[in-house]
Structure 1
Amino acid sequence: MAMPVQRSYDVVIVGGAIYGSSLAWWLSQMPGFGGSVLVVERDTTYQFASTSHTNSCIRQQFSNETNIRISQFGAEFIKNFRDFMGGDPEVPNLTLQSFGYLYLADNAAFAKVLHQSQQIQSALGAQTQHMTRDEIAAAYPFYNLDGIIAGNHSTVDEGYFDGGTMFDWFKRMARRNGVTYLHDEVMGLSLNGAGTRVEGVMLKSGQTIACGTLVNASGPRAVATSRMAGIELPVRPRKRYSYVFAAAEPLEQDLPLTIDPSGVHVRSDGKYYLAGCPPDDDPDVAYDDFAFDHTIWEEKVWPAIATRIPAFERVKVINEWVGHYAYNTFDQNAILGPHTKVGNFLFMNGFSGHGLQQSPAIGRGVAEYITYGAYRTLDLAPFHYARLETGRAFVEKAVI
């Protein structure tokens, strides 16, 4: 484990995956921020990080205006990635594969929710269309639409992209701009006598680093970090399964990311297809529990996709993995901003599977908050930790 360059940093970020690195990069080039930044990461291979197990998708099909605007900026960021990174020709261009999302409704109540969400999305400039069963059948004749009565679909700024490359360049450019990355583990926090500020970070290597602001970007381990400051947080690791498969009869057109009423989703993935789902029994798990339940494919995923898309009767799984959502058990949305008592303890937690697509906008927003004491682009205050204490949930109807 390396020694940090300094004994004190203006900002210490606990966790160097997509959120720690997005924030580090945004801070490193934020006008008005001249402070020092340390990112402490316990596993620099990121082998088990949620970032490494992502499906790299982005959608504007949310029901809450704030989430929609976050994803609209995410799409802008992806499509203009090199420009955001300063125009350096070494930075690759990212491609947003806009096959879109297609939500399918098999009952009138959910069809109504989809229609209401589509109206909100459309008012904000999204190209979402509310479709009848017949319209879906005409656009995508390969579906078996038995029981389906409506759907929402968009092929503009929705789909998937190379999230791994975005993550890599967040790290590279943050380092290039002077951010220090340290392979170590935060084992404890020291607070002032009143318990209102974090004063220092105690590392596994035995070092203690003083800090001005502490940011919890610990992914599924968020509560382990918050408890070091005496703060309880409703974020737990939950397993999510992904499968890449080849089809004996490939479809003749791209497959949108289809959210089936069964809870299974499936989309095109180059010449292959990618499917995923939560388990029916979805408990909190240990941080190091990545044991794979092989019955989920046979009993849940394959029956659902073969029923919805008869061409997928004959498929072969060529890759599979299980990762962890940093699952917010309170309302399945981000937890941001300062703690109500420990004022320099900031949260970037609980994204519940939305994290990669939201990382550009939320990294920018938290950097603004640290630099200016306020948000200057998107108002992210609805995500603040204080809502947990008041019991006021952030309502989002489109959670996958």
Structure 2
Amino acid sequence: MTQAPAKTSYDVVIVGGAMYGSSVAWFLTDNPDFNGSILVVERDPTYEFTSTAHTNSCMRQQFSAAINVKVSQFAADFVKNFRTYMGGDPRVPQVTLHSFGYMYLADNETFAATLRESQKVQAACGAGTKHMTRDEIARDYPFYHLDDIIAANHNLVDEGYFDGNTLFDWWKRSAKERGVEYVANEVIAMNRNAAGTRVENVILKSGQVINCGTVVNASGPRAVLTSRMAGIEIPVEPRKRYTFIFEAEKPLDRDLPLTIDPSGVHMRTDGTYYLAGCPPDEDPAVDYDDFVQDHSIWEDKVWPILAMRIPQFEAIKLRNSWAGHYAYNTFDQNAILGPHTQVENFIFVNGFSGHGFQQSPAMGRGTAELITYGEYRALDLSPFNYERIETGEKFVEKAVI
């Protein structure tokens, strides 16, 4: 059942109403210098198959690029002070950031050197990352099997996981209360002006033609389907990622950091259970509606690695599992933000490649600034701008999971 918008013209039309559509919408309403009208068009208001619904809500400052560290630092502050950022509304819950950190394990000197260099970048940004020897890892976390490990990076400050869907729910609720209009509908086409420099209107599945001042592509893994309506190609495709929730017969005596094993398998504490995940060995683009699980990944790859890395995990029981989609930027696995170089009112918030939830506060704020002022103000997010796709200058980030 589609819904028709109340009006035929809006200052901002956001295509996609999940985490990023709602983040941009809310931050626009929170900007005192923005007083325009906002329409959010969401094709599936249940959000059942969105990346938002399948998130693991992890947060880390362990990146090799300083701007990625700063983006996550704002996210940590936003989560820890969520009610304050939401205007002190007593209905808004306090959100806990479970800071047991990430543990990047290195089994060779080349990766250990990369970790040491990244630690310097993170420290310069004020992050609490420390580089650890094998003996130091064993001292603090004696449950690991470390015969093949020579070093690690670990950070116990503002790094771990949080309930990201609480942020999403309240951004959406608050945006609606502040006048943002959400409709269950689908953008199926866009019309540009004669010069091709602006999107003049969008056409909805229900037939309405909606004039727009700015279009924001917040379509997650479907981003290229939206951009093509404006004649634009972007290197974003859906890639399948697997999550497994398991119970240990002999639970660990302390929190398990989000551990990135050299095999690519990652694992962490998840309440009274544990969470693990990994990319498939073969990682092609998948159909937008393909969420079928490959159960051999658990049996043949994940479980053996868990039992090898943490011997206490030899006796575990799988309790739940699911497959979700990364909005995967095949160019350089980092966000694509900002305006198109020719279609000047078409704004990207796409291609987060698994970093989306932890980056959503900073990227939503920055995109709202860009729409309001024509520039980023709180953080210079221009390294993520779309322009680099055309020039072929990759944003280099070594810490991509």
Same fold (TM over 0.5): yes
1:29/1:177 contact within 8 Å kept: no
Displacement of 1:233: 0.5
Taking the TM superposition and a 5 Å limit, the aligned residue runs for 1:171-186 are 171-186=172-187
* 3-state SS of paired residue (2:229): helix
Corresponding residue SS for 1:311: helix
Name the structure 1 match of 2:107: 106
* Whole-Å separation in 2 of the counterparts to 1:92 and 1:21: 18
Conservation of the 8 A alpha-carbon contact between 2:131 and 2:153: yes
Distance 1:123 1:193 in 2: 49
Tell me, yes or no, if structure 1 residue 252 matches structure 2 residue 253.
Answer: yes
Q: How high is the TM-score relative to the length of structure 1?
A: 1.00
CA distance in 2, matches of 1:358, 1:178: 25
Is 2:249–2:315's contact at 8 Å kept on the other side of the alignment? yes
Which residue number corresponds to residue 33 of structure 1? 34
Displacement of 1:58: 0.3
CA positional deviation for 1:337: 0.5
Counterpart residue number, 2:54: 53
Residue identity (%)? 69
- Distance between the aligned counterparts of 2:3 and 2:219, measured in 1? 20
SS at match of 1:214: strand
Amino acid at match of 1:220: P
Tell me the CA shift for residue 31 of structure 1. Answer: 1.5
Contact 2:4–2:185 (8 Å) recurs in 1? no
Instruction: Report if aligned partners of 1:336, 1:347 keep a CA contact under 8 Å in 2.
Output: yes
Equivalent residue number for residue 361 of structure 1:
362
Aligned partner of residue 267 in structure 1, secondary structure: strand
Normalised to the residue count of structure 2, the TM-score between the two structures is 0.99
Which residue does the alignment assign to 2:121?
120
SS of aligned partner of 1:229: coil
* RMSD after superposition: 0.5
Query: In structure 2, what is the equivalent of residue 387 of structure 1?
Result: 388
Per the TM alignment, residue 332 of structure 1 is displaced from its structure 2 partner at its CA by: 0.1
SS at match of 1:317: strand
Equivalents in 1 of 2:11, 2:29: separation in Å? Answer: 12
> What's the CA shift for 1:158?
0.3
Unaligned runs of 5+ in 1: none
- One-letter amino acid of the counterpart of residue 188, structure 1: A
Deviation at 1:137, TM superposition (A): 0.3
Q: Residue type of the partner of 2:169?
A: D
CA distance in 2, matches of 1:378, 1:143: 38
Give the CA deviation at 1:122. 0.6
**How far off its partner does 1:68 sit?**
0.3
| SS class of match (1:142) | coil
Structure 1 Cα separation of the partners of residues 123 and 269 of structure 2: 25
Aligned-residue offset at 1:340: 0.5
Alignment map for 1:275-314 (pairs within 5 Å): 275-314=276-315
Corresponding residue SS for 1:230: coil
Q: How many residues align?
A: 400
Provide the rounded CA distance (Å) in 2 between the counterparts of 1:290 and 1:29.
Answer: 35
* 1:98-139 CA distance string (max 9 Å, x none): 010000000000000000000110111000000000000000
Match of 1:228 in 2: 229
For 2:349, the equivalent position in structure 1 comes to 348
Kept after mapping to 2: 8 A contact 1:335/1:348: yes
Give the match's secondary structure for 2:168.
helix
Asked if residue 76 in structure 1 is aligned to residue 74 in structure 2, the reply is no
1:130 aligns to 2:126 (yes or no): no
Paired letter, 1:44: P
Post-superposition shift, 1:5? 1.5
The AA in structure 1 aligned to 2:65 is: N
The C-alpha deviation readout for 1:348-370, integer Å capped at 9, x for no partner, is 00000000000000000000000
Q: How far, CA to CA, are the matches of 1:29 and 1:135 in structure 2?
A: 45
Give distance in 2, aligned partners of 1:83 and 1:139: 35
> What is aligned with 1:160?
161
After the TM superposition, list the runs of 4 or more consecutive aligned residues in structure 1 that deviate by more than 4 angstroms. none
Amino acid at match of 2:173: R
Q: Which amino acid aligns with 1:393?
A: K
